[in-house]
Structure 1
Amino acid sequence: MKLTVMCFILLGASKTFVHSLDSYRAAVYEHNVTFPADRTKILPRDEALQVMKKNLVVYSQQAKLASDKEARIIVFPEYGLFGLGWTRQTIAPYLEYIPDPKSQTWNPCDKPAPFNSTEIQHMLSCMAKDNSLYIVANMGARQPCTISDPKCPIDHQYQYSANVVYGPNGDFLARYFKFNLYSDEKQFDKPEQINLTTFETPFGRFGTFSSLDIMYHDPAITLIEKMNITNIAYPTAWIDELPLLSAIEFHSAFAEGMHVNLLAANLHLPSAGYHGSGLYWPTGTSIDGMYYYNDSLASNGSLVVGTFNPFIFLESNDTRTKSLDALSVKSEGIRNKAITVKINGDLFTAILTRDSYGKLHVCQGSLCCDALFEGEFSSELYAFGAFDGIHTEGDRYYLQACVFIKCANNTPESCGTPTKVSSSYMSKMSFYGNFTTKYVFPEVLVTENGVLELVTRYWLYQNAVIIDVGLYGSPLSISIFSRDYSHDN
């Protein structure tokens, strides 16, 4: 028996979006950063400057290219000026004092004199001015503190990972100090307070944060929901973690789940797992070429340029119902009991299938995941799983997720192991979870001859993914990644 109708429709109001009249060209640059082979030595300031200037030469070339392609804003990656692997002491020569742009007007290109040792800010400001661009870049900040401050570090300065923003005339517009640090970012301090950072452009209001911030309520969700930000400039240093946390996979899912334009610029260090950048619409991505994913060790960085047509969201009063029992499905194939599958460090409860069509159901904790599907999977093994708990690998946060993933070697033991190989086909799927939160991020990742590609031809209702036109590639991961921030601990 074949499935002829595949849909989930949820009870409640839905959001309809239409194009606004304004559009803008944007760019992100995935940068193959130059940095010293030995990061255990403390360099003099002038040698540290030479390292950063080598990267700024590349930035300048890409800014000009972006301007020539009529981009109005460009975002560069986190750690793009000096790379990774520092200690608190060895990063110090790369840092600069960054004043608060809210307290005074400053154009570092025109007037670098007010502050000492601000060469990087001067060059970024001039780069913006020379190319008539808004520039968002990440750099290191040192902010002095005194002994009267009980939290002042022993070296009498706070050290922050900072995003800086310059306008097309070189004006310094905004600074952001990263709030959510990875466990290995010991060289930087966590700000005592979250600094919600926005900046105005003629083509929209932007917010900015970086890397791990995207996984937490603050600053990301507060900027979007409380400050009505629909454009995010996002420098990141993101390790590609298949099957659920590939950079292009999760960042596009966040854009769709939160209905924002996300300008995500990543490092290009494929040997260390850093790659994947893009311009993501509220529909995930909409135009071929608006993301870059190349993990070849012989590859280099890349500029991504595209046009955003910002969306205006209108509340709809449509009332819809969901039903998993609309079809009576006969499913043939594997009938194994639930097994445990480790995915990105989390232990999912999963069932296995090679069926070409069927109905799947699996639960863990309070989360139950259901799917109806039709395709061609007879030669390959897939796992359908649920996770409801605290994610602890690399960082700690509460996660609910429903996943349909390719098992790497078509064995139960290989389910959850990263793979880029599949020859299966998905023609239709309805995929639902009873999540405890509205913050759901849909991920559909396929492969074409070993090359990962995003899929945008699917629908998202509050808790469901619907595929009704067939995927153009072989599915690696179809998932819904959900964050209930109130349960973080």
Structure 2
Amino acid sequence: MFSLPNRNRIKMKLVLIYFLIFGFYHVNTEMVVHSLDSFRAAVYEHDVIFPADRTKIVSRDEALKVMMENLMVYSKQTSLASLNEAQMIVFPEYGLYGLVWTRETVAPYLEYIPDPNVEMWNPCNEPSVYNSTEVQHVLSCIAKNNSLYVVANMGARQPCKISDPKCPVDHQYQYSTNVVYGPNGDFVARYFKFNLYSDEKQFDKPERVDLTTFDTPFGRFGTFSSLDIMYHDPAITLIEKMNITNIAYPTAWVDELPLLSAIEFHSAIAEGMNINLLAANLHLPSAGYHGSGLYWSLGTAIDAAYYYNDSLSSSGSLVVQTLDPLFSRPTGGNIKRLSAIYDSFTSNKTYEIKINGDIYSAVLVQVPHDELNICQGDLCCSGFYDTYLEPGELFAFGAFDGMHTEGERYYLQACVFIKCANNTLESCGSPTKVSSSYMGKMAFSGNFTTKYVFPEVLTSENGVPGLMTKIWYYMGDLIIDAGLNGATLSISLIGRDYSRDNLA
């Protein structure tokens, strides 16, 4: 049984009463789900079959042999998804030929991909309309033979004219591309990836962002891939300006604990933006790629619709779940209500800890209940908690306000409560999957300069990270009132201030 100090009990009661009165009213008036029908979707985390040697240029036939092996897996998994009554399946980024390429070595794996908005085409029925489009033919037939939507990622080669001043020396643009096929095999959507990782030298960045959507009987969908989810375009524009609440999301995402685990961050985006996110990742645990799921606006769908297995002996997995279409989002912005009922805070020594390459200001958490605050830059994070704290375990409550520059560059604001890996100050911020401390009640918030704040909760059961949804996230405040199922790894609010991405 958790025991809060009297002052904390009063505050927690005020928070919960406020939420019960005003929070549910907000939910019932502004978060109404106007669904016609639920839909059943699938994602497949794919253990990609790599070509033997990715350092040399191969023939088109050799490239096709590798891709057809992967497509055989796609076909089998789509049949299984169909047997489970799925109406859409999403496959991962780089799922047809794997990772680590140069512009020259990836070229045999690419195909010309026409614009489906200009000309209707069914590659399964009309395979000879365009030359060397064998992959598109098979994907179209997989969709048709199983009567569902197929979303996959492949490589495109798009010829350009010598008169084009940006035309590459090989006279073609090369794009990482999402393709979508309807239940009858029709080619319905094409998306060229806009936000490339710094090591994706084999692909070109499109001159302008594709805002790609496609309609289904169960709602309108958008699609983008991988790093796109970290930036305003296309992700936020699709969701806010075009009212897209269903996203088909092929990705190749490295699991970066403690804050950027795939299941952790992708579920937080779904909850923070009130969308359905169908996220299919590669399954390459030896390189850190794993974690896929069907996430909805409460973080995950019912019955744990995600897959997390980083064992080197594990294989890919199919995840199938029923989701509800969403047609409206909460309005209002990032108004802080919890801060209005704080009176004073425990004064703790401030430390610097490194999390995912960023230097956070932090205070250590060493008692089972307390009030906390920490500031960095323009951001101040405040909260209180009541937890079962395993003797010897150490946590940190931290804040970061600045430019994330390790790997990719974007402006980040974060309030975090994390397990210190080896229960030492020096290990706070290092990846860990082990915890024995359980959160009972918690409420915290920050004075973010952005309304784009995403709530993360990652737990541990026997050293295996997992998700749980017993939290309230309302107008930027994260509240836990019934405890977490699983020991605590991290509880965080991750803010993205897109307006500051271009700061020097």
- State the TM-score, normalized to the length of structure 1: 0.96
Spell out, residue by residue over 1:260-287, the C-alpha distance to the aligned partner (whole angstroms, 9 max, x if none): 0000000000000000000000111131
Distance 2:48 2:63 in 1: 14
Structure 2 residue corresponding to 1:369, chosen from 354, 378, 381: 381
Match of 1:352 in 2: 364
> How far apart are residue 432 of structure 1 and its match?
0.5
Alpha-carbon spacing, 1:440–1:107, altered in 2? closer, same or farther (3 Å)? same
Alpha-carbon spacing, 1:110–1:430, altered in 2? closer, same or farther (3 Å)? same
> How far apart are residue 315 of structure 1 and its match?
6.1
Match of 1:414 in 2: 427
1:14 and 1:317 in contact (8 A); partners too:
no
Match of 2:111 in 1: 96
1:286 and 1:456 in contact (8 A); partners too:
no
2:482 maps to amino acid: V
Alpha-carbon spacing, 1:184–1:265, altered in 2? closer, same or farther (3 Å)? same
> How far apart are residue 462 of structure 1 and its match?
2.1
Asked if residue 396 in structure 1 is aligned to residue 384 in structure 2, the reply is no
Alpha-carbon spacing, 1:379–1:324, altered in 2? closer, same or farther (3 Å)? farther
Q: Aligned ranges for residues 40-189 of structure 1 at < 5 Å?
A: 40-189=55-204
SS of 2:328 mapped into structure 1: strand
Spell out, residue by residue over 1:276-311, the C-alpha distance to the aligned partner (whole angstroms, 9 max, x if none): 000000111131231000000000000000000223
Asked if residue 485 in structure 1 is aligned to residue 491 in structure 2, the reply is no
> How far apart are residue 146 of structure 1 and its match?
1.5
Spell out, residue by residue over 1:109-162, the C-alpha distance to the aligned partner (whole angstroms, 9 max, x if none): 000111100000000000000000100000000000111000000111000000
Q: Aligned ranges for residues 432-451 of structure 1 at < 5 Å?
A: 432-451=445-464
Structure with the larger helix share: 2
Match of 1:428 in 2: 441
SS of 1:18 mapped into structure 2: coil
Asked if residue 201 in structure 1 is aligned to residue 216 in structure 2, the reply is yes
Asked if residue 17 in structure 1 is aligned to residue 31 in structure 2, the reply is yes
2:131 maps to amino acid: N
Match of 2:289 in 1: 274
Match of 2:397 in 1: 384
Asked if residue 470 in structure 1 is aligned to residue 496 in structure 2, the reply is no
Structure 1: gaps of 5 or more residues: none
Distance 1:462 1:257 in 2: 10
1:414 maps to amino acid: S
Spell out, residue by residue over 1:61-112, the C-alpha distance to the aligned partner (whole angstroms, 9 max, x if none): 0000000000000000000000001100000000000001011010000001
Match of 1:311 in 2: 326
Distance 2:332 2:64 in 1: 57
1:101 and 1:172 in contact (8 A); partners too:
yes
1:434 and 1:463 in contact (8 A); partners too:
no
1:29 and 1:76 in contact (8 A); partners too:
yes
1:289 and 1:304 in contact (8 A); partners too:
no
1:381 maps to amino acid: L
1:419 and 1:476 in contact (8 A); partners too:
yes
1:98 and 1:141 in contact (8 A); partners too:
yes
Distance 1:325 1:228 in 2: 32
1:471 maps to amino acid: L
Distance 2:353 2:218 in 1: 46
Alpha-carbon spacing, 1:330–1:205, altered in 2? closer, same or farther (3 Å)? closer
SS of 2:473 mapped into structure 1: strand
Spell out, residue by residue over 1:199-241, the C-alpha distance to the aligned partner (whole angstroms, 9 max, x if none): 0000000000000000000000000111110100000000000
Taking only the aligned residue pairs, the percentage that are identical comes to 69
> How far apart are residue 316 of structure 1 and its match?
7.8
Match of 1:243 in 2: 258
Structure 2 residue corresponding to 1:295, chosen from 283, 303, 310: 310
> How far apart are residue 437 of structure 1 and its match?
1.0
Question: What do you get for the CA RMSD once the two structures are aligned?
Answer: 2.0
Distance 1:320 1:212 in 2: 28
Asked if residue 459 in structure 1 is aligned to residue 459 in structure 2, the reply is no
More divergent stretch after superposition (372-381 vs 239-248): 372-381
2:68 maps to amino acid: K
Alpha-carbon spacing, 1:320–1:150, altered in 2? closer, same or farther (3 Å)? closer
1:444 and 1:477 in contact (8 A); partners too:
yes
2:265 and 2:456 in contact (8 A); partners too:
yes
Distance 2:462 2:373 in 1: 31
Spell out, residue by residue over 1:333-359, the C-alpha distance to the aligned partner (whole angstroms, 9 max, x if none): xx7511110000000000101110010
> How far apart are residue 313 of structure 1 and its match?
3.2
Distance 2:144 2:67 in 1: 19
Alpha-carbon spacing, 1:144–1:481, altered in 2? closer, same or farther (3 Å)? same
SS of 2:31 mapped into structure 1: strand
Distance 1:392 1:374 in 2: 34
Distance 2:453 2:333 in 1: 20
2:120 and 2:187 in contact (8 A); partners too:
yes
Alpha-carbon spacing, 1:312–1:152, altered in 2? closer, same or farther (3 Å)? closer
1:354 and 1:381 in contact (8 A); partners too:
yes
> How far apart are residue 45 of structure 1 and its match?
0.2
Distance 1:41 1:317 in 2: 54
Distance 2:156 2:296 in 1: 31
Alpha-carbon spacing, 1:321–1:172, altered in 2? closer, same or farther (3 Å)? closer
Spell out, residue by residue over 1:427-459, the C-alpha distance to the aligned partner (whole angstroms, 9 max, x if none): 000010000111000000000110111121101
Distance 1:49 1:169 in 2: 24
Alpha-carbon spacing, 1:194–1:419, altered in 2? closer, same or farther (3 Å)? same
SS of 1:298 mapped into structure 2: coil
Distance 2:328 2:139 in 1: 35
> How far apart are residue 376 of structure 1 and its match?
1.6
- State the TM-score, normalized to the length of structure 2: 0.93
